[in-house]
């Protein structure tokens, strides 16, 4: 059987972003910018730079701005061309041509596993990538490409991991398992926000996955039978006894853009790297004389 290339990605973006109210009352939290580029665009660029050709956004209410961002804008493009703003015009046109974009709507917020199921027909019988909108990894080699490399070696699902201080494990989904290669763990257990005394692991799951069609089957089987929302963790635990699952501790700096402090940290770091304002931002921070 010929191995299939990872060419599709699911980006679940249906959440309300309540931690960022009132900023997210009328706009998607994924459209909050890091300087001049929305968080969601960074994720799309990560996907495209990893070889992804088609992207489906799982949306909900108040997500129209996100759809418009990746659509063509004839009036704006004409205005920029008329005024000779070639660089800005290229930036706008680039958005539409990065990949093929599709949009499906999650009717009710019933968990991230349910959001993934909404995109089942788009994916079909293929392995695919999943990128959640809160997790950015600033890396020389895109984090998703790192996951794809591991998938191509083992041909089994792969989950992105990051090492966290052990005293903070109760804030994360934590995996346990056996290391099989540099940064690669074969998973044996998934614990949702355990107390530090309940696990020896400090490897936390971040929102990047390579999944196989069996994930959709498991989620469908479990829909309606789990208490509360249907999560990716339900499928992960259900599949562990049936086939190998792997975790990769990705290289790079991870930012939790679903958290206010994490978002500010990402904004500062991306501003410092910005080719036009980075030097000015650095000078400003130095002038604050912070203790």
Euclidean distance between CA atoms 262 and 258, whole angstroms: 7
- In CATH, which of 3.90.550.10, 3.40.190.150, 1.10.3720.10, 3.40.50.10880 is domain 8-287? 3.90.550.10
Euclidean distance between CA atoms 170 and 136, whole angstroms: 21
Euclidean distance between CA atoms 44 and 37, whole angstroms: 11
* pLDDT tens, position by position, 135-190: 899 999 999 999 999 999 999 999 999 999 999 889 888 999 998 889 999 999 88
Residue 151's pLDDT is: 94
DSSP for 169-180, please give it: GGGSEEEEEEEE
Q: Which of 149-158, 223-232, 236-245 has the lowest mean pLDDT?
A: 223-232
The yes-or-no verdict on residue 3 having pLDDT over 70 is no
Structure tokens at 32: 């909050």
Segment 49-77 shows an average pLDDT of: 84
* pLDDT tens, position by position, 256-283: 998 899 999 999 999 999 999 999 999 9
CA nearest neighbour of 134 among 206, 63, 60: 206
User: What is the pTM assigned to this prediction?
Assistant: 0.90
Segment 236-257 shows an average pLDDT of: 90
Q: Where are the domains of the chain?
A: 8-287
Residue 43's pLDDT is: 94
Segment 86-98 shows an average pLDDT of: 79
């Amino acid at each position: 059987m010929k191995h299939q290339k990872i060419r599709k990605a699911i980006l679940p973006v249906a959440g309300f972003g309540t931690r960022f109210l009132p900023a997210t009352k009328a706009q998607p939290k994924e459209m909050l910018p890091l300087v001049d580029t929305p968080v969601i665009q960074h994720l799309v660029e990560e996907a495209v730079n990893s070889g992804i050709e088609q992207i489906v956004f799982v949306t909900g209410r108040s997500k129209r701005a996100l759809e418009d961002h990746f659509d063509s804008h004839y009036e704006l493009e004409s205005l920029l061309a008329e005024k000779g703003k070639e660089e800005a015009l290229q930036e706008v046109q680039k958005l539409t041509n990065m990949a093929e974009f599709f949009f499906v709507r999650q009717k009710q917020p019933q968990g991230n596993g349910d959001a993934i199921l909404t995109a089942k027909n788009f994916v079909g019988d293929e392995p695919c990538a999943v990128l959640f909108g809160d997790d950015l990894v600033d890396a020389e080699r895109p984090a998703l490409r790192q996951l794809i490399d591991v998938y191509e070696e083992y041909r089994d699902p792969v989950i992105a991991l990051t090492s966290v201080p052990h005293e903070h494990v109760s804030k994360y989904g934590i995996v346990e398992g056996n290391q099989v290669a540099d940064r690669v763990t074969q998973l044996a257990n998934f614990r949702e926000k355990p107390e530090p005394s309940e696990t020896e692991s400090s490897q936390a799951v971040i929102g990047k996955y390579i999944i196989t069609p069996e994930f959709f089957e498991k989620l469908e089987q479990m829909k309606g039978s789990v208490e509360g929302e249907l999560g990716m963790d339900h499928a992960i635990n259900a599949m562990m006894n049936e086939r190998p699952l792997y975790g990769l501790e990705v290289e790079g700096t991870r930012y939790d853009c679903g958290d206010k402090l994490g978002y500010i940290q990402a904004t500062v770091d991306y501003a410092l790297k910005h080719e036009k304002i980075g030097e000015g931002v650095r000078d400003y921070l130095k002038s604050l004389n912070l203790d």
